[in-house]
Amino acid sequence: MNIILFGPPGAGKGTQADILAKELNLYKVSSGNLLRELINKKNDFSLKIKAIIDKGSLVSDDIINRLVTKVISNKLYFNRLIFDGYPRNMNQTKILDILLKKYNQKLSYVLSLKVDEVAIIKRISGRQLCIKCGSVFNEFYNRSTKENHSCDPKFLEKRSDDNEKVLRNRFKTYQKETAPILNHYKKQNLFTEIDGMQKIDEIYSKIREIIHPLKT
């Protein structure tokens, strides 16, 4: 089966994609992972891509589509793909349709995690990472204390892009670019929306119900 998993920043789609990939023996197709793998090759082309990313610019659809093509055309991953973070716009969506048809594959499910924007922004903007031990805390929901964290508070840091303004912009961009994609898959009767505000295991259970309906 081939699955696409959608969700705004902080929805937890990456976590669910990882679980599904492991449990169902699927290959996770993430544009971020594909770019990191490319950069690690350290050739002339990868250095150019790294320069684009380091500048904070977006990698072109053409390059992303080329990377995805290599995966879809690989017989090792035939009909066992889960897409995380791809497609991001209608151009990529159309290319994906063409590629799947070209290599005699099809989508089985398109799932979207629906989350509360205010709650997610609070969840992400409150994240704190201990650069010494790697523990993650949240100043709203799971504060670092002497009881649960032995490191000095000075080691707690927040990502520069984990702020409300940046997150709201990311949400708006996601909604603007994703809405037509979801409508595209709704017309094909592939789309299902899932409550992404549940616990990780509850979301996973719901996904498994959809993928493998429980027989009564």
The set of residues, in sequence order, having a beta carbon less than 8 Å from that of 207 and lying 6+ positions away, is: 16, 20, 111, 194
Tens-digit pLDDT profile for residues 31-57:
878 888 888 888 888 888 888 877 767
Burial class (CB in 10 A: 0-12, 13-18, 19+), 115: buried
Cβ neighbours around 7 below 10 Å, total = 25
The topology under which CATH files domain 2-117+168-211 is Rossmann fold (3.40.50)
Residues of the chain with pLDDT under 70: 56, 161, 213-216
CA distance linking residue 128 with residue 113, whole number of Å: 24
- H/E run at residue 2: strand 2-6
Q: Say which DSSP state 104 is in.
A: T
Q: Classify 5 as helix, strand or coil.
A: strand
The set of residues, in sequence order, having a beta carbon less than 8 Å from that of 177 and lying 6+ positions away, is: 88, 89
Tens-digit pLDDT profile for residues 113-131:
998 888 888 878 888 889 9
Q: Where in the chain is the domain with CATH 3.40.50.300?
A: 2-117+168-211
